[in-house]
Amino acid sequence: MFCNLPAYILIDNLTQVKYLSVITAFQEDLKKGLTTLFEGYGQALYGFSRGQWHLDEDEGYDVLYKTLEIVGKVITRYEFSSENHFTNWLFKIHKNNILQFLRAKKRKEKLTVPVDFGKWENEVHEMEDAGFDLQEFKSVIERLSSLNPYESTTSHNHLMLSLQKGLQQLSETERELLLLRMNNYSYDEIAKMLEIENNQLKVKFNRAKAKLEKLTLSILKDTYNETV
């Protein structure tokens, strides 16, 4: 029942151990710190994974333990001014771990971005600036248009690496939006997860996708020029 509540309400309702107690425990002993953190915030973090991101039970615990591990390694490097400050920091780490888990799950299942360069041309043309000349990338498109996304070849590796590099050049919100849509979440669900308005979210997704396609083509072109 608690899974659908906002994170900060969860923290207020569930934890009897405030952030200062967690910090003090970590200063005394790592094991004690992890125990105190788990007792104070574990249920809220787990509920966030299950309720907001729809991870199953095992996945929710896997991500939770990863968050605890990371926090244990870095918490003594930070200073916090309030409960909200600490909670924001904690849930940001946890959210990043959830996204990393989803990316790894996607790769493990061999689900990749569908490669339809004919469609890419139209999307980039419609959503990006008119000064982007698609003819410059004709040879790249022809070279990869018949690529099997599940076949491990040099061209496939170039494409996947270029997509990864392109993703890193997008904003955090753009990356999250693309990832969530690739995992078949609705725009209403994405708006709730990312705590943003649903207004124009579909347009933002199309722009982010076209931006990634444009970046990928540019990176691929440079890659092929370097390997010629």
- The Cα-based distances of 169 to 105, 128, 162, 176, 212 in angstroms read 22, 16, 11, 13, 8
Q: Of 66, 85, 108, which one is at a domain's C-terminal end?
A: 108
Signed CA dihedral, 13, 92, 89, 36: sign only: positive
Residues 129 and 195 in one domain: yes
The span from the CA of 171 to the CA of 173, in Å, is: 5
In the chain, what percentage of residues exceed pLDDT 70?
68
Residues 132 and 198 in one domain: yes
Residues 37 and 127 in one domain: no
Residues 71 and 143 in one domain: no
Domain that holds residue 41: 2-108
Q: Of 73, 108, 143, which one is at a domain's C-terminal end?
A: 108
Nearest to 221 by CA among 143, 164, 147: 143
Residues 140 and 103 in one domain: no
> Across 11-20, 140-149, 168-177, 188-197, which has the greatest mean pLDDT?
168-177
* CATH number of the domain within which 77 lies: 1.10.1740
Residues 126 and 88 in one domain: no
Task: Name the band, by pLDDT with cuts 50, 70 and 90, for residue 228.
Answer: very low
Residues 7 and 104 in one domain: yes
Task: Name the band, by pLDDT with cuts 50, 70 and 90, for residue 11.
Answer: very low
Task: Name the band, by pLDDT with cuts 50, 70 and 90, for residue 142.
Answer: low
Residues 121 and 206 in one domain: yes
pLDDT digits (tens, 9 = 90+) for 87-139: 999 999 999 899 888 877 766 554 444 455 556 556 655 655 555 666 666 66
Quick one: CA torsion of 34, 40, 43, 45, rounded to 10 degrees?
A: -70
The domain tally of the chain equals: 2
pLDDT at position 8 is: 43
pLDDT-wise least confident of 47-61, 82-96, 192-206: 192-206
Q: Of 79, 108, 137, which one is at a domain's C-terminal end?
A: 108
**What b/e sequence results for 34-58 when a residue is b if at least 16 CB atoms lie within 10 Å of its CB, and e otherwise?**
bbbbbbbbbbbbbbbbbbbbebeee
pLDDT digits (tens, 9 = 90+) for 54-72: 899 999 999 999 999 999 9
Calculate mean pLDDT across residues 148-158: 56
End-to-end Cα separation, the chain, in angstroms: 59
- The larger pLDDT score, comparing residue 139 to residue 9, is at 139
- Residue 138 and residue 124 in contact, taking contact as beta carbons nearer than 8 Å: no
Residues 142 and 185 in one domain: yes
